[in-house]
Amino acid sequence: MGRRTELPDELGGEFSAALARRHGVTRSRLRGGDLRAPFFGVRIAADISFEVDAEDPYQRQRLRRIARAREYAPRLHKGHFFSHQTAASIWGGPLPLAFTEDGRIADDFPPHVCALGPLAEPRTSGIIGHRTRWSFTAMTEHDGLRVSSPAATWASLGSLRLHDLIALGDYFCREWRQGRGRPDPGRTPLATPDDLRRMLEVGRRIGADRLRAALPRIRQDSWSPRESLVRCVLADAGLPEPQLNVDVFDDAGRFLGCVDMSYGQEKVAVEYLGMLHGATWAADVERIAALRAAGWIVIEVTAPLLKRPEELARRVASALRRAR
């Protein structure tokens, strides 16, 4: 067997078959075992993988969507961009878990690819194609990928449930304020509520009623989608809305911690506890103990409790009554 012809350096490790042909690469060379073809018309060096595993299924699905987008990117037309759930994942936004028809957690995510203006809707096998007008979107680049803007992405996802739209809007509109327990102060928000509103109002949208219902419930100080969902449960139950991510100090001015959700006057805190790991778990235990020692009532919310919204609301309502 003869040696494989070296590929031109200009191609790099990921390229379109069309570009390779323009550089003189033969069709037989493009079928070489050192290349893989994740999509028709795309070649990637066999030793290059964009897959990154994660224990958290939400993070794993987000990374899988990004990996599929990166595999398709070499053949992305200059008037095409990633949109919908793919765009949300590229921006780091939270999405609900996706499942297969037989109830398993999904692991295959065809990229959403959108065409602008007069261009035809993309129809390549293995992708989900869309077509939109210039006025309905804004195209930008993030992390090396051409993608719809955060506001346009949010407005394109009206098929999501109301609480998921609120959580995604919270993520895009988060303001990184100064504070003792606040990370990355001064970081620029990805969008503002006005950005979302303008993108929603340009014309008819799928799920427009849900988008309109979500918009006034978006907050700019929520730090995680689980916090957003807890807040939605409390509001749906008719409870007063808590302050979000409040730095709490004792009477002597000692910093006790940054509380996920706070009813300051009643000294009731609602804390979402995610997957418990090592130092994070220990820090949570110490912070909650310090709050309780200072006279706070702390409601700890776990994933199983979040699936029982009536019980969650009952516990918070009971704590507020006791505090008064």
Task: Specify the higher pLDDT residue, 316 or 285.
Answer: 316
Banded pLDDT at 51 (limits 50, 70, 90): confident
Q: Rounded mean pLDDT of 55-61?
A: 92
Q: pLDDT digits over 177-193, tens only?
A: 887 767 777 889 999 99
3-state SS assignment for residue 270: strand
Strand bridging mode 268-272 / 297-301: parallel
Most confident listed range (2-6, 104-108, 169-173): 169-173
Amino acid at 144: G
Task: Note the pLDDT of residue 276.
Answer: 55
Task: Specify the higher pLDDT residue, 42 or 52.
Answer: 42
Task: Note the pLDDT of residue 242.
Answer: 98
Q: What is the torsional sign of CA 249, 235, 300, 315?
A: positive
Task: Note the pLDDT of residue 180.
Answer: 77
What is the DSSP annotation of 33-101? TTEE-SSTTEEEETT-------SSHHHHHHHHHHHHHHHHGGG--TTEEE-HHHHHHHTT---PPPB-T
Residues whose CB is less than 8 angstroms from the CB of residue 180 and which lie 6 or more positions away in sequence, other chains included: 247, 255, 258
Q: Rounded mean pLDDT of 115-137?
A: 90
Residues whose CB is less than 8 angstroms from the CB of residue 130 and which lie 6 or more positions away in sequence, other chains included: 83, 84, 112, 113, 114, 115, 121, 122
Task: Note the pLDDT of residue 7.
Answer: 92
Which domains does the chain carry?
9-45 (no CATH), 57-220 (no CATH), 226-323 (3.40.960.10)
- Assess whether pLDDT exceeds 60 at residue 195: yes
Q: Rounded mean pLDDT of 257-276?
A: 91
Banded pLDDT at 1 (limits 50, 70, 90): very low
Query: Contact 261/230 with Cβ under 8 angstroms?
Result: yes
Task: Note the pLDDT of residue 208.
Answer: 96
